[in-house]
Amino acid sequence: MTLFRATVVDAVGSGLTDCRLRVDEDAGLLVTDGIITARGPFAELFRAHPDEPVVRLRDGLLLPGFVETHAHFPQVRAIGGLGLPLLDWLQRYALPEELKLADPEYAAAVAEEFVLGLLRAGTTTVLAFGAHFAPAMDRLFEAATRWGIRLVSGLVVSDRTLPEDLLTTPDQAYADGLRLARRWHGRRRLGYAVTPRFSLSCSEEMLESCAALLTSVEGARFTSHLNENLDEIEGVRRAFGTATYLDTYSRPGLVGAGSVFAHNVHPEAAELDALADAGASVAHCPTSNAMLGSGLFPLRQHLEHGVRVSLGSDVGAGTGFSLLKEGLQAHMTQELRGEDGYPLTAVRLLYLATGAGASALGMDGLIGELGVGRQFDAQWISPQANPTLAMSLRNAESAEDALAKVFTLGTPADVAAVWIGGDLVSERSVA
């Protein structure tokens, strides 16, 4: 057992519209076999467990590890492609980089960069968009196993409109996916996600093969893109002739409680109803939506229809791994929507980056909060080389105020340590 001593802050509640901040100053968290077994005033816990080792986190805040619900593993080195809308950006920046992952050694190096980038940003669980190559996926699952991150991911499949070397067939996609899922799904902290790139790069047969794979792998999740960009939406309509973009996924049975759709910047009311009825989630990717000029996410409309929303960086269209930055951009996006925006307070931002992701991935009860019974997946935010954040935290009026400063000023350099299931997985090196 280990006793952690810190100011512990998490966001609890059943959804974004009813979450609240839980703050314990000078708290103790007792961690037994990776699970939080007691939370309370440190003095009380220390009295009850005087012989256990104490980890003292003197300043800053101890937060739950972030739960990231949309980041592209093969795009780490494509971050920073400025100035193009989605379809041009894919051609110019993303797809040429993704082709390089045909080389398993290259993929192994990128997998390492991806997992380390996430951990150093305080992310402890990720739903990751995979690569188009099965050996590259093995490298990603291996890197995740080595570093201990919770990872849900799968082979990305497509059979049209992309460069030839990124294409496969529906039968091959099913066979490769099943082989990967049998190897990795359910192993320790790993899970499999069936992942067609988007309907624009898939035939109906390919989406049906995805549905078959989803049925074959019990507990597998589903993820893809939806309604990100107006030209993309128009292309999907022309190719499929369906009333809505979501219909292309609904028809083969790909919209369920285990489905996470990235973006959904331009939804129709019928799609929001269908997503809510299915219990599906939407991963909001605010920096990507701004970088690619995709639009201002209609969060209020999602919430009014009862659609669950979580947060994603969408690296490499997004601007980095930090969900602090995504949270801030999410806040600013709602401000830019004016009257129609949904105000994102610091509490709601923390919920979006933690509990909402846990819920989207079916991991509520396991992660997302620092309460008794949860895994000790946590990050210690303690600025060392960020004097403006350090000054702001010293002068904060309350824990909520401090949290707002962290979202506004924090970076991965302010994440001093990260634990997953009680294991220390990342520690800022002291210069």
Q: Given candidates 314, 326, 377, 414, which one binds Zn ion under the rule CB under 5 A?
A: 314
Residue matched to tokens 């998490």: 10
**Based on CB atoms, which residue is closest to ligand GUN, 282 or 381?**
282
Positions in 193-212 near ligand GUN (CB under 6 A):
197-198
- In 3-state terms, what secondary structure has residue 34? coil
78 interacts with ligand GUN by CB under 6 A: no
Residue matched to tokens 């990235």: 262
Q: 418 has which bridge partners? A: 379, 426
Q: What single DSSP character describes residue 189?
A: T
Positions in 225-244 near ligand GUN (CB under 6 A):
225, 228
Look at the alpha carbons of 88, 92, 93, 95 in this order and tell me if their dihedral is positive or negative.
Answer: positive
Rg (alpha carbons) of the chain, rounded to whole number? 21
Q: Given candidates 317, 370, 404, 406, which one binds ligand GUN under the rule CB under 6 A?
A: 317
By the 10 Å C-beta count (0-12 exposed, 13-18 middle, 19+ buried), 146 is classed as exposed
Helix axes 399-409, 387-394, angle to 10 degrees: 170
In the shown chain, the binding pattern of residues 249 to 268 toward Zn ion, with x for contact by CB under 5 A and - for none, equals -------------x------
Q: Which amino acid is at 164?
A: E
Instruction: Write down the least CB distance from residue 143 to ligand GUN, Å.
Output: 20
Q: 68 has which bridge partners? A: 126
- In 3-state terms, what secondary structure has residue 332? helix
Considering only the stretches 229-237, 268-276, 312-320, 357-365, report the one whose residues sit in contact with Zn ion under the rule CB under 5 A: 312-320
Instruction: Write down the least CB distance from residue 79 to ligand GUN, Å.
Output: 12
Q: Count of residues binding ligand GUN (CB under 6 A)?
A: 11
Q: Given candidates 72, 139, 221, 266, which one binds ligand GUN under the rule CB under 6 A?
A: 72
Q: What single DSSP character describes residue 395?
A: T
Considering only the stretches 86-94, 236-244, 348-356, 409-417, report the one whose residues sit in contact with ligand GUN under the rule CB under 6 A: 86-94
Q: Given candidates 94, 190, 233, 420, which one binds ligand GUN under the rule CB under 6 A?
A: 94
Say if residue 316 is preceded by a cis peptide, omega within 30 of 0. Answer: yes
Instruction: Write down the least CB distance from residue 302 to ligand GUN, Å.
Output: 18
Structure tokens at 99: 């082709």
**Based on CB atoms, which residue is closest to ligand GUN, 225 or 405?**
225
**Based on CB atoms, which residue is closest to ligand GUN, 232 or 377?**
232
Rounded CA separation 73/314 (Å): 10
In the shown chain, the binding pattern of residues 99 to 138 toward ligand GUN, with x for contact by CB under 6 A and - for none, equals ----------------------------------------
Q: 419 has which bridge partners? A: 378, 424
286 within 8 A of 323, measured Cβ to Cβ: no
Q: Which amino acid is at 2?
A: T
Q: Which residues in this chain contact ligand GUN in the complex, by CB under 6 A?
A: 72, 86, 90, 94, 197-198, 225, 228, 288, 314, 317
Q: Which residues in this chain contact Zn ion in the complex, by CB under 5 A?
A: 262, 314
